[in-house]
Amino acid sequence: MIADLLNTLVGLWLTYTAIFPYAIGMSRDRVALLAAVAMIGLALWARRSGAMPWQSTIALSTGALLAALMIADQLVHVSDVLIFWGVLWAGLVCATVSLWAALYRRPQDAGLAG
């Protein structure tokens, strides 16, 4: 649960840096690459303790796609529009599924409750 909450914060922070790239005071490319690595690490950590693994799988794949996009931007220039939408959607998807995983609890058996 802690890893999912941290991954939610990373996703929200990525969304903020996509919308306000000059507010962080440093290069968005390096920040997004570090956030992608953090997303991957936190998703692997959340996979161990999650109720269902699909949320961490989506966060993991989103982090991997963002890392690939940022590495491609380091090697060859990628369109600024593609970088904006890639960072924005990676942040939104990661924050949404990670918060869902943090808040979701499996329902108890109905026969035992009554």
pLDDT in tens, 5-47: 999 999 999 999 888 887 776 677 788 899 999 999 999 998 8
Task: Supply the pLDDT for residue 71.
Answer: 94
One DSSP character per residue, 41-92 reads HHHHHHHHH-SSTHHHHHHHHHHHHHHHHHHHHHHSPPPHHHHHHHHHHHHH
Global pTM reads 0.84
Question: Is the pLDDT reported for residue 108 higher than 70?
Answer: no
Cα–Cα distance for residue pair 110/70, rounded to 1 Å: 47
> Is the per-residue pLDDT at 51 higher than 80?
no
The predicted structure's pLDDT at residue 114:
47
How high is the pLDDT of residue 110?
44
For residue 49, the model assigns a pLDDT of 76
How far is Cα 101 from Cα 3, in angstroms, rounded to an integer?
Answer: 10
Provide the pLDDT confidence category of residue 68 given band limits of 50, 70 and 90. very high
